[in-house]
Chains A and B, each alone.
Chain A
């Protein structure tokens, strides 16, 4: 079985063909870098995405501060992660790289701040 994908690893968006036999990836073509190969294999077996959103700040200059997942999370866990993140409040000051949630949902991924808020 063949499956066509668009690689989302970088803005190039290479069209990739994946050949699958008995649920196993046997060939990946069309990618122009190693990341494309990895993306295609993951997309068939365990699709993942990096997650970006924001988290509530207390005493902040802003109401929310942006965050991202330190690595990709399973696609089907994105809304579960959102629920968890939306329940959290961080206290200003916040710096870029601060860990907001450690090992979210035991996925082995942290949620980290991607902007600073010096606080009021």
Chain B
């Protein structure tokens, strides 16, 4: 058994930021367990730029952003095990992991930070009819083939889903010589950043079809084509709008799912909407000493927010380890009227620091107000030019606001049009 103060599961941006923050706070023995061969997580294959504007004040590529944190980790005495898979976390915070160098390892931790990231929703979850040829994969898998392995997964491409990964891959495949025929989006709006629609699709004349989906795949061995169709308000295909598109590759960018199998096994309670753990403002789950941050907690669109969130978790874990754990009275936050969820789900009303509530909306709003309310009193109300499901928003809660609350209070965030 190896004894550590803090075990961080996952060495992507979340895990590294949490570990570094805990180190900065004075935690001595920290280990990061990473399943890939290097630290950096999914950023390693996100070779486009656009990362780090908030945190570093410049636009970095994924590997560069990760690289800055990797360099910082290397300067510390934080232990790192790569190519190492965590198999289990026990109730008493024994983390069992395995790799082919050290074999099976068990780490006794005082605190654990969950930073496992997320995975892509596969085809099976979509029930697209048709054959099962090769050439159908998630956009992230294609991204790995192209950017890490250096292989082209196809030449004529249809992309389902206009999330950022789908948009980025449309440009990436085009630059490498593929013909991207169309990007179909089930919803009436894109799930990706507007600038990605401009520079990944418009720049190359790739059509984006909203309210449109792939209903069937064709081809016995290799994909030969797909049938797409328009959908109605209930997102059901409209008969008569079917169109056959010849292609050898279908990339799916249809959502990300926080990877919480380990969390579930150790009994961490999950939020039904985020599919991530229920946490308080220190990013501690309902299991004392187990923290969560990054895409395992909620799917982010900006890595800078991941870093910010993970530093909070790292600080929280450090406080826990030093026995400086905050007592207090925790109340719930709740998203209503267009606000799908809020992280953190719980807030300490005895907290003395300013905190942010992060949330996402369920549809596109223009010129709507974000209203924060507690016990019938409006705490803040701000007009936003645009709110979209693809972009995470936040509101600030000050200690002054918290001071007025009691154990029965509930903070709500809603959209007012």
- From B200, which residue of chain A is reached at the shortest CB distance? A8
Residues of B within 8 A of A79 (CB): 175
Question: Do B176 and A53 touch across chains, with their CB atoms under 8 A apart?
Answer: yes
**Which residue on chain A has the smallest CB distance to residue B197?**
A6
With beta carbons under 8 angstroms apart, the residue of B49, B67, B391 that contacts A52 is B49
Is B245 among interface residues, defined by CB-CB distance under 8 A?
A: no
Q: List, in ascending order, chain A residues with CB within 8 A of B50's CB.
A: 10-11
Cβ < 8 Å to A, chain B residues 186-209: 193-195, 197-199, 203
A8 nearest in chain B by CB position: B195
Cβ–Cβ < 8 Å partners of A114 in chain B: 47, 60-61, 63-64, 67
Taken residue by residue from 28 to 61, chain A's Cβ proximity to chain B (1 for < 8 Å, 0 otherwise) reads as 0000000000000000000001111110100000
CB of A7 to closest CB in B, whole Å: 7
Contact B148 A96 (CB under 8 A): no
| Contact in complex: B67, A66 (CB < 8 Å) | no
Distance A85 CA – B146 CA, assembled complex (angstroms): 15
Q: What 1/0 flags go to B59-98 for Cβ under 8 Å of A?
A: 1110110010000000000000000000000000000000
When A13-B193, A75-B203, A114-B64 are in contact, do A8 and B147 touch as well, CB less than 8 Å?
no
Measured between beta carbons, the chain B residues less than 8 angstroms from A53 are 47, 172, 175-176
**In the complex, are the beta carbons of B199 and A11 less than 8 A apart?**
no
A66-B194 contact, Cβ under 8 Å, with A52-B61, A115-B67? no
Q: How far is the CB of B122 from chain A (nearest CB, A)?
A: 25
B147, A54: Cβ atoms closer than 8 Å: yes
Pairwise interchain contact B195-A68, C-beta atoms closer than 8 A = no
B150 near A116 with CB under 8 A, answer no
Within 8 Å of chain A (Cβ to Cβ): is B53? yes
Q: How far is the CB of A84 from chain B (nearest CB, A)?
A: 13
User: A56 CA to B175 CA in the complex, in Å?
Assistant: 15
Most buried by B among A12, A49, A82, A116: A12
Residues of B within 8 A of A63 (CB): 148-151
Q: In the assembled complex, how far is the CB of residue B252 from the closest CB belonging to chain A, in whole angstroms?
A: 22
Q: How large is the interface on B (under 10, 10 to 19, 20 to 34, 35 or more residues)?
A: 20 to 34
Tell me which residues from 300 to 322 in chain B have a Cβ below 8 Å from any Cβ of chain A: 301-302
Complex CA–CA separation, A37 to B48 (angstroms): 23
Give the distance in Å from the alpha carbon of A54 to the alpha carbon of B301 in the complex. 23
| Interface membership of A92, Cβ < 8 A | no
Q: Smallest CB–CB gap between B389 and chain A, Å?
A: 14
- Quick check: A10 and B53 within 8 Å, CB to CB? yes
B284 at interface by CB-CB < 8 Å: no
Known contacts A11-B301, A54-B150, A82-B175; is-contact A66 B195 (Cβ 8 Å): no
A64 within 8 A of B: yes
Give A74-120 interface residues, CB cut-off 8 Å to B: 75, 78-79, 82, 96, 114-116
Chain A's closest residue to B43 (CB) is A115
Q: Which residue of B lies closest to A57 (CB)?
A: B150
Closest 5 A/B residue pairs (Cβ): A63-B150, A13-B194, A115-B63, A66-B47, A8-B195
Could you list 15 examples of A-B contacts with CB < 8 Å?
A8-B195, A11-B195, A12-B195, A13-B193, A50-B59, A53-B47, A53-B172, A53-B175, A53-B176, A63-B148, A66-B47, A68-B61, A114-B63, A114-B64, A115-B63
Other than the given A52-B49, A114-B47, 18 more pairs (CB < 8 A) read: A6-B195, A6-B197, A11-B53, A11-B195, A11-B391, A12-B195, A13-B198, A53-B47, A53-B176, A62-B148, A62-B149, A63-B149, A66-B147, A68-B61, A75-B203, A114-B64, A115-B63, A115-B64
